[in-house]
Structure 1
């Protein structure tokens, strides 16, 4: 996503050869050779004759999104080079900017804060996307309309503790921290515990009273298991599209004051490629519109929990939704 990686990115290595960067140029990749045809997208093969390179960062969700994009291009007639699974946000971003790759799914908050250098997010998701799209024109990048998939920070707890404390929002958690201080214990990653847009900022924005003794720092993957158990910590830092939320039956607290930035996934396209192949928009828009947090949790769980191949997960979803057909 932005500066984070998912614990199960290693699954991608089962599918994809490592992608290296030489200066600003990508030096490896493999052709997509799926037997796929148009479904509801790609009718008439509007990308026939196009050669397009797709990329992604190296965590499960973004890899799956990159595979979705590449398969959609294939079904629309393009020859697709798969250069997904680039380590870190900056490498994938530079590939799009420089033309080393043509397209990827990026996150609006990442672009606004990490790439474009702003320190205050925009609360309205559509306004955040619009600001990013307008600013990135100068970088030779086109942003297509965003999804409602918003991979941002949240607090979650297990069903037993949700029933016990009745919390639904971060404001509820703040009230609980003031009325029953011992009830609110937090499991978080060390980075989240220190960042102004993490625990310190959240506590200040909501008026939470969580002493240092009630904050337990640990690896992100362990947070989920500790919250699921419910004894070591009442609440834990999660990412809203993580498949383990559904797999472990956790309840996510709503950010009712919109403290955390919006990280909506949207297609980020090299401007030259967009001018050459304007049909990219018609191919991707219906797919992007179907991407929600629930969909992301489902697809991420198939990779991160069940150990499935990200390419297969992407293809199965596209076929099930009728966007493409196999054979």
Structure 2
């Protein structure tokens, strides 16, 4: 599952890598718009591309076919790093930027319900069953790591009549501005969360996988240029879920160019110089 928010973020993070490499004197060929996660990953494996930011959850679930996520973020990173070694891919340390799934509610509606966690939602479904209506993407509505699995993990029941399926982009608007759904599926780093005054509910039972962003490097390239770690590790340490929300909003809400958004942030943080 990959919505607009994740696509924006992929481009911004890819631009960061290119700008940092260029500032260090490397010749950079920008391939950040390769279609789909698997195509981009294959480019790294085959050496057709040298570096990208990847999500630990994507590697674990999509590439390695693991059904059950690893709850601890560090352990999951270690697991995909070990698998990556066997495929000629080197994982550098991950960021705390975690672009996972979560339900969100408008601040307007939450003034009434005061929901903070998914356990609060489960309690509401028992206390007032008709109150919980949900807007989700088609895929999320049927996957074990989506709505059905979430409902099972929290012991909540949401009747089919209270579930609306729609495009990811429409969900944010529906949750924010209409009464058609109380909760909506969002990506936790999406810039529209703050722009549309949404509260993201905590996954207090840690059902959803961790999708921490980390640089992945074609191993032959990394062995030739190990200084890549010195360039990218400081950047990753600064990347948080909150930072990603701000940067994504500049693109998806304010209409700024991803390259310029990445460049401005790198300059502001002192990773590259203006110009």
Q: Distance in 1 between matches of 2:84 and 2:14?
A: 20
Among 2, 5, 13, the alignment partner of 2:3 is 5
Partner of 1:130: 78
Answering whether residue 57 of structure 2 is matched by residue 109 of structure 1, we say: yes
Correspondence list, 1:92-103, <5 A: 92-103=40-51
SS of 1:81's equivalent in the other structure is: coil
Answering whether residue 159 of structure 2 is matched by residue 161 of structure 1, we say: no
SS of 1:70's equivalent in the other structure is: helix
Which is helix-richer, 1 or 2? 2
Among 167, 176, 188, the alignment partner of 1:219 is 167
Which is strand-richer, 1 or 2? 1
Structure 2, gaps ≥5 residues long: none
Partner of 1:229: 177
Correspondence list, 1:226-265, <5 A: 226-265=174-213
SS of 2:61's equivalent in the other structure is: helix
Answering whether residue 65 of structure 2 is matched by residue 67 of structure 1, we say: no
TM-score, scaled relative to structure 2 = 0.98
CA contact (8 A) 1:121 1:261 kept: yes
CA contact (8 A) 1:170 1:206 kept: yes
* Aligned-CA RMSD value: 1.0
Structure 1, gaps ≥5 residues long: 8-57
Answering whether residue 226 of structure 2 is matched by residue 278 of structure 1, we say: yes
Q: Distance in 1 between matches of 2:135 and 2:199?
A: 15
Q: Distance in 1 between matches of 2:35 and 2:194?
A: 26
Q: Distance in 1 between matches of 2:230 and 2:121?
A: 43
SS of 1:257's equivalent in the other structure is: coil
TM-score, scaled relative to structure 1 = 0.83
Among 285, 303, 310, the alignment partner of 2:258 is 310
CA contact (8 A) 1:177 1:183 kept: yes
Q: Distance in 1 between matches of 2:270 and 2:189?
A: 23
Where has structure 1 moved over 3 Å in runs of 4 or more? none
Q: Distance in 1 between matches of 2:40 and 2:3?
A: 13
Answering whether residue 90 of structure 2 is matched by residue 142 of structure 1, we say: yes
CA contact (8 A) 2:3 2:168 kept: no
Answering whether residue 37 of structure 2 is matched by residue 89 of structure 1, we say: yes
Q: Distance in 2 between matches of 1:254 and 1:304?
A: 24
Tell me the CA shift for residue 119 of structure 1. Answer: 1.2
Greater relative contact order (Cα < 8 A, sep 6+): 2
Q: Distance in 2 between matches of 1:222 and 1:116?
A: 31
